[in-house]
Amino acid sequence: MNVRDSEHLFAELSTRADYDRTDRPEEADLILINTCSVREKPVSKLFSELGQYNRIKKPEAKLGVCGCTASHLGESILKRAPYVNFVLGARNVSKIVDIAQRDKAVEIDLDHDESTYHFSEHRSSPYQALVNISIGCDKECTYCIVPHTRGSEVSIPPKLIIDEIKRAVDRGALEVMLLGQNVNNYGRRFSGPEARIDFPELLEQISRIEGLERIRFQSPHPLHMDDRFLEVFAHNEKIVKHMHMPLQSGSTAILRAMKRGYSREWFLERAARLRQMVPGVTIGTDIIVAFPGESDRDFEQTLDVMRQVAFEQVFSFKYSPRPLTKAAQMPGAIDNQEASARLAILQALHREQLSMAMAAQVGTTQRVLFESQEGEWVLGRGDNFYLIKAPADKAAKGEIRSVQIVMADRGALIGTQVA
Ligand code: 5AD
Ligand code: SF4
């Protein structure tokens, strides 16, 4: 979502004002840092980066902080780094042209509604279009700062989404990536009286766009993975067969403390149903280790879910206490060394599982959208998310081709037969 916000920032500045991009910060008239606040590390990095940019920038150049940390720290950024010119929070992106002309300005209104705003167009990838379908999040996961930085959930009207995708396809996009904190909760609230459709219906409507080859989305919530959603996912041929199912923890007690709204059993049942309905599906997940109060047994339960589901992709994190969240007040903090040890065990299990899953892909044929070139190889994603490499003389960027996989090599599958 931050990448899409950055595209919007640049689109507004280049069409409604006179900015262009430069790779040389010392020549820039305006420097924006688009921030994340989901864990603590990027927040501390912000202030050291601001200091660096302040040293190298032209004296009259402006410096702005955007994104979730801007929402969260607001005014206090100007106190700690007085040379910053403005602070522009997430879901206030459409105000960039205005705020870039002001000094010591702060725009972090959490109720600001951008769900019907017509952003100017800019896309970093010609083949894959990132398209927001909702903003904010209505959940209250106790570890998560996002509802406090992106505000409550509003769906973007279907017509705006479909028109945006059609325009991207007209300009050559083959794939769309639908974005939201909770994509499969789409349609619960609109800010106007538009046609009220839900996520499965939105997927069906998008899949009827001619020229669009593939649909992906990020991130769905396991709680809203009902049968109808899984049916559409399974049977709609344009939907890439990779599902993100953020587990967070495999222990029902911890899930309850996290306020995730599902149990370990629900998650296991949904994942098993998904594997059964969609042969060849790959499943990704997010896991937090060392949430306050996580016992050895709770952690073992997370490993057990991993053994049962055998995720093909795992993003794993040590719990990081965040301001404004309920978990930050909970007792039972886990020692940092123990947290690191748990993370290492979990990641070793995942590496083992992934290399087995990848080895099992050898001999299969996959449809790949090639997106980049590195030396003699072109790289792209297969129908079920694996990164696939093929010789550049057999395929080119921007093509969708069938590739037979001959070997698995550190994070990528290698294919040589290209048709
Ligand atoms: N500490 C660690 N990880 C977190 N995430 C969200 N909040 C925290 C936190 N306080 C992780 C979750 C989420 C992913 C985007 O970031 O796993 O799914
Ligand atoms: Fe955060 Fe939970 Fe919302 Fe995801 S669903 S953004 S983890 S509060």
Confidence class of residue 170 from pLDDT cuts 50, 70 and 90?
very high
Across 357-369, average pLDDT: 95
Q: What is the pLDDT of residue 10?
A: 97
Distance 386 CA to ligand 2 centre (A): 26
Q: Whose CA is nearest to atom 2 of ligand 1?
A: 319
CA 138 to ligand 2: nearest atom: 3
From the DSSP assignment, how many helices (H) and strands (E) are in the chain? 13, 17
For the residues of 60-121, what is the DSSP string, one character each? Answer: T-EEEEEEHHHHHHTHHHHHHSTT--EEEETT-GGGHHHHTTSSSEEE--TT---TT--PPP
- Of 183, 223, 285, 288, the residue with max ligand 1 atoms within 8 A of its CB, to mutate for a pocket test, comes to 288
- Nearest CA-CA partner of 131 in 97, 107, 155: 155
Measured CA to CA in angstroms, residue 393 lies from 293, 339, 407, 411 at distances of: 55, 47, 18, 22
Name residues whose C-beta falls within 8 Å of residue 359's C-beta, 6 or more positions apart in sequence: 408
Q: What is the pLDDT of residue 411?
A: 85
Q: What is the pLDDT of residue 169?
A: 97
- The amino acid sitting at 392 is A
Q: Give the domain ranges of the chain.
A: 2-107, 123-240, 244-360, 365-418
> Both tokens of residue 19?
């900015």
User: Does ligand 1 come within 6 angstroms of the Cβ of 291?
Assistant: no
Span 340-352, pLDDT tens digits: 999 999 999 999 9
User: Does ligand 1 come within 6 angstroms of the Cβ of 53?
Assistant: no
Fold for 123-240, please state it. Transcription Regulator spoIIAA (3.30.750)
- The amino acid sitting at 115 is S
Mean pLDDT for the chain overall: 96
Span 301-327, pLDDT tens digits: 999 999 999 999 999 999 999 999 999
The pocket around ligand 2, CB under 6 angstroms, is made up of: 137, 139, 141, 144, 146-147, 181-182, 221
Q: Whose CA is nearest to atom 2 of ligand 2?
A: 141
Ligand nearest to the CA of 149: 2
> CA dihedral defined by 237, 239, 242, 247, rounded to 10 degrees?
-130
Confidence class of residue 42 from pLDDT cuts 50, 70 and 90?
confident
Confidence class of residue 136 from pLDDT cuts 50, 70 and 90?
very high
- Of 37, 72, 137, the residue with max ligand 2 atoms within 8 A of its CB, to mutate for a pocket test, comes to 137
CA 137 to ligand 2: nearest atom: 3
- Are 129 and 165 a contacting pair, CB within 8 Å? yes
User: Does ligand 1 come within 6 angstroms of the Cβ of 143?
Assistant: yes
Across 264-290, average pLDDT: 97
- Of 39, 316, 317, the residue with max ligand 1 atoms within 8 A of its CB, to mutate for a pocket test, comes to 317
Q: What is the pLDDT of residue 376?
A: 94
* CA–CA gap between residue 181 and residue 176 (Å, rounded): 16
Q: What is the pLDDT of residue 44?
A: 82
Across 66-80, average pLDDT: 96
CB atoms within 10 A of CB 88: 26
Torsion angles phi and psi, residue 12, rounded to 5: -65, -45
Confidence class of residue 418 from pLDDT cuts 50, 70 and 90?
confident
Confidence class of residue 281 from pLDDT cuts 50, 70 and 90?
very high
User: Does ligand 1 come within 6 angstroms of the Cβ of 204?
Assistant: no
Q: Whose CA is nearest to atom 4 of ligand 2?
A: 181
Distance 135 CA to ligand 2 centre (A): 12
Ligand nearest to the CA of 141: 2
Which superfamily does 365-418 belong to?
A: Nucleic acid-binding proteins (2.40.50.140)
User: Does ligand 1 come within 6 angstroms of the Cβ of 39?
Assistant: yes
- Are 126 and 370 a contacting pair, CB within 8 Å? no
Q: What is the pLDDT of residue 410?
A: 81
Confidence class of residue 33 from pLDDT cuts 50, 70 and 90?
very high
Ligand nearest to the CA of 325: 1
The CATH number of the domain covering residues in 244-360 = 3.30.750.200
User: Does ligand 1 come within 6 angstroms of the Cβ of 370?
Assistant: no
- Are 133 and 162 a contacting pair, CB within 8 Å? no
Ligand nearest to the CA of 287: 1
Distance 312 CA to ligand 2 centre (A): 22
Q: What is the pLDDT of residue 193?
A: 84
CA 321 to ligand 1: nearest atom: 10
Kindly state the percentage of the chain with pLDDT values over 70. Answer: 100
Task: Kindly tell me if the per-residue pLDDT of 384 is higher than 90.
Answer: no
- Are 46 and 67 a contacting pair, CB within 8 Å? no
- Equal fold, 2-107 vs 123-240: no
* CA–CA gap between residue 29 and residue 236 (Å, rounded): 47
Task: Kindly tell me if the per-residue pLDDT of 407 is higher than 90.
Answer: yes
* CA–CA gap between residue 83 and residue 148 (Å, rounded): 26
143: helix, strand or coil: coil
Ligand nearest to the CA of 324: 1
- Are 135 and 151 a contacting pair, CB within 8 Å? yes
Distance 340 CA to ligand 1 centre (A): 15
Distance 246 CA to ligand 2 centre (A): 10
Span 5-30, pLDDT tens digits: 999 999 999 999 999 999 999 999 99
Q: What is the pLDDT of residue 272?
A: 98
Measured CA to CA in angstroms, residue 102 lies from 6, 64, 95 at distances of: 20, 11, 11
Distance 43 CA to ligand 1 centre (A): 14
Distance 138 CA to ligand 2 centre (A): 8
CA 150 to ligand 2: nearest atom: 6
The CATH number of the domain covering residues in 2-107 = 3.40.50.12160
Confidence class of residue 214 from pLDDT cuts 50, 70 and 90?
very high
User: How does strand 365-374 pair with strand 377-381?
Assistant: antiparallel
